[in-house]
């Protein structure tokens, strides 16, 4: 079982690329969870919780420390999102008694994004010095400390928006997925890079599907 969580424990080799158990099953479960989220399916949350547990161990081993810490947050919020979507208040419920899709626009959205940039600067400085401050735990310097921190912060923002079913979360995810695709290919975890490239397409699909469902509420109220 310990070998399963070692990135050097190879499941198979495809086109000279050694695929670890950790990367393969993390990608598969994460892809299924994202595909379900784009369809506003509540099962995206428990499957997503399993995926982030695997990615925690993966990111530690490739020195993407902000991403590693992010998985702890994701695990907790996957449980929170599962509860929030299935236990809406009466005025928030859709026809399936699940949380309705709403919008986050104007001043609130601008303030959230500005706060994200400030948090990126703080976290990036912390990540850049992890190997200096905690050399026993982090023997290698953080890869892309500020870029990785930006995707970490915006992922947190996107996750909270998704928990509350804010339609704009999908545009946040698109930006995060584009940057993440670049980082993962650069770090050599190619299947994860391919996964995030696919996530870019799913983000478009999620925005389209959620917009259509949001607009359908007006027709249902007539």
The full DSSP string for 114-148 is HHHHHHHHHHHHHHHTHHHH-TTT--SPPSSHHHH
Q: What is the average pLDDT value for the chain, to the nearest integer?
A: 87
The whole-model pTM stands at 0.78
Q: Residue 212: what pLDDT?
A: 92
CA-nearest of 58, 10, 50 to 30 is: 50
* Residues with Cβ within 8 Å of residue 132, at least 6 apart in sequence: none
- Ramachandran quadrant class, 32 (left: phi over 0; alpha: psi -120 to 50; beta: rest): alpha
Q: Residue 207: what pLDDT?
A: 94
SS3 at position 15: coil
Question: Which structure tokens are listed for 6?
Answer: 């070692």
Model confidence at 64: pLDDT above 80: no
Q: Residue 179: what pLDDT?
A: 94
Q: Are 70 and 93 in contact (CB under 8 A)?
A: no
């Amino acid at each position: 079982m310990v070998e399963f969580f070692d990135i050097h424990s190879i499941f198979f080799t495809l086109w000279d690329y050694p695929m670890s158990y950790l990367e393969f099953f993390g990608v598969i479960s994460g892809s299924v969870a994202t595909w379900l989220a784009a369809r506003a399916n509540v099962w995206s949350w428990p499957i997503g919780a399993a995926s982030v547990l695997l990615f925690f161990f993966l990111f530690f081993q490739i020195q993407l420390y902000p991403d590693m810490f992010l998985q702890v947050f994701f695990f907790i919020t996957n449980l929170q999102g599962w509860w929030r979507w299935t236990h809406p208040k009466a005025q928030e419920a859709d026809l399936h008694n699940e949380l309705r899709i709403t919008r986050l626009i104007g001043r609130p959205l601008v303030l959230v994004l500005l706060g994200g940039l400030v948090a990126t600067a703080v976290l990036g400085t912390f990540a850049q010095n992890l190997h200096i401050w905690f050399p026993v735990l982090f023997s290698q310097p953080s890869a892309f400390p500020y870029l990785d921190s930006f995707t970490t912060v915006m992922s947190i923002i996107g996750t909270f928006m998704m928990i509350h079913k804010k339609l704009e979360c999908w545009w946040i995810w698109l930006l995060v997925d584009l940057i993440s695709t670049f980082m993962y290919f650069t770090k050599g975890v190619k299947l994860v890079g391919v996964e995030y490239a696919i996530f870019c397409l799913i983000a478009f699909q999620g925005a389209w599907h959620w917009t259509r469902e949001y607009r359908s509420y007006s027709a249902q109220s007539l």
